[in-house]
Amino acid sequence: MTDRRLTGKVAVITGGASGIGAATAQRFVAEGARVVIGDLQDAPGADLAAALGDAACYRHANVAREDDVAGLVAEAVDRWGRLDVLFNNAGFVGATGSFDDTSEAEYDLTMNVLLKSVFFGIKHAAPVMRAQRSGSIVSTASVCGLTPSIGTHLYNVAKAGVVMMTKSLALELAEFGIRVNCVCPGYVATGLAAGGSLTDLGPEKTAERLATTRARMASSQPIQRMGEPDDVAALVTWLASDESSWITGTAQVIDGGLTLGKPWRKQPSTVTVHRPLAGA
């Protein structure tokens, strides 16, 4: 990359040790940013920061704990003197199974990791950005927050909460030059899509499950491939950059057309399929 759209900017990325977070950290540094990577996965996080050099550092963080999230913001300010971008990305599948079998502890953990963490991030990033009168906050929501037929109940509810938190806080923070947006990915080739959560499946099991998921997605949505972490990282990088300076309060869908429905030729047979005219 040659345009270096994030030169001089400082960013915090939660869930930055793998998947979408790691791909975004790599893009941010390539675009000229300095990055604090926060995660529970200490070895991968430290390895990634080392590979990125002086432009990155790793800090252990459980995003369900406010002090840990505040510590990521403080790390950025202490180390580099400012904070221009916050990417609230950390997440996991959360409570699964029947709704009436979900325990209070499972409910609390799911909401804490997927929704409360976003609140913590914005709460602690906003004062720094207000003082600068500039900043971009991006959070990972999901198409599951827009339509209830894809994810599990609490995951859907939490991601819908991220979408509404984005819109509501964008209103308050706009006058301070702070933009707040979220991205809504569909199925992306990460450990999460492979059925992982906070527990590492291991490289072989993850690869096996991803291969199965890739094959299924190749024929079930209009753009017939699974998303890659770098697809989402590219969108987040744009939202972090000044190129999107007139964009706030949006939920950017990036799903290969998943929410549109089945591919055109798999629609009910009553749909007219327009074919090229003879000789065209």
Rounded-to-integer distance, Cα 144 and Cα 100, Å: 20
DSSP 277: P
Instruction: Supply the pLDDT for residue 262.
Output: 80
Instruction: Supply the pLDDT for residue 200.
Output: 55
Does residue 88 lie in a domain region? yes
Does residue 147 lie in a domain region? yes
Does residue 1 lie in a domain region? no
Range of the domain at 58: 10-266
Assign 10 to helix, strand or coil: strand
**Token code pair at residue 227:** 């998303």
Residue 218's φ and ψ, nearest 5 degrees, are -65, -20
Does residue 182 lie in a domain region? yes
Instruction: Supply the pLDDT for residue 197.
Output: 44
**Token code pair at residue 160:** 């819908």
Q: Where are the extended beta strands (E) located within the chain?
A: 10-14, 34-39, 56-60, 85-88, 135-140, 178-185, 251-254
Instruction: Supply the pLDDT for residue 216.
Output: 77
- CATH of residue 160's domain is 3.40.50.720
- 178-185 and 34-39 strand pairing: unpaired
Does residue 272 lie in a domain region? no
Q: Judge whether 44 and 67 are in contact, CB under 8 Å.
A: no
Instruction: Supply the pLDDT for residue 198.
Output: 39
Question: Distance from CA of residue 105 to its chain's centroid?
Answer: 24
Q: Which member of 139, 142, 241, 244 is catalytic? A: 142
Rounded-to-integer distance, Cα 42 and Cα 58, Å: 8
Strand partners for 36: 12, 57
Per-residue pLDDT of the chain (280 residues; tens, 9 = 90+): 456 999 999 999 999 999 999 999 999 999 999 999 999 999 999 999 999 999 999 999 999 999 999 999 999 999 999 999 999 999 998 888 788 888 999 999 999 999 999 999 999 999 999 999 999 999 999 999 998 876 689 999 999 999 999 999 999 999 999 999 999 999 898 877 666 543 455 667 777 877 887 887 777 789 988 999 999 999 999 999 999 999 999 999 999 999 998 888 777 765 555 566 666 5
Instruction: Supply the pLDDT for residue 150.
Output: 65
Does residue 280 lie in a domain region? no
Instruction: Supply the pLDDT for residue 189.
Output: 87
Q: Let me know if 159 is a catalytic residue.
A: yes
List Cβ neighbours of 8 (8 Å cut-off, separation of 6 or more).
32, 84
Q: Which member of 9, 139, 155, 244 is catalytic? A: 155
Using alpha carbons, select from 150, 124, 143 the residue that is nearest to residue 135: 124
- Total of domains in the chain: 1
Q: Let me know if 142 is a catalytic residue.
A: yes
Instruction: Supply the pLDDT for residue 265.
Output: 77
Does residue 44 lie in a domain region? yes
Q: Which member of 9, 58, 117, 159 is catalytic? A: 159
Q: Let me know if 98 is a catalytic residue.
A: no
Does residue 4 lie in a domain region? no
What do you get for the CA distance between the two ends of the chain, in Å? 40
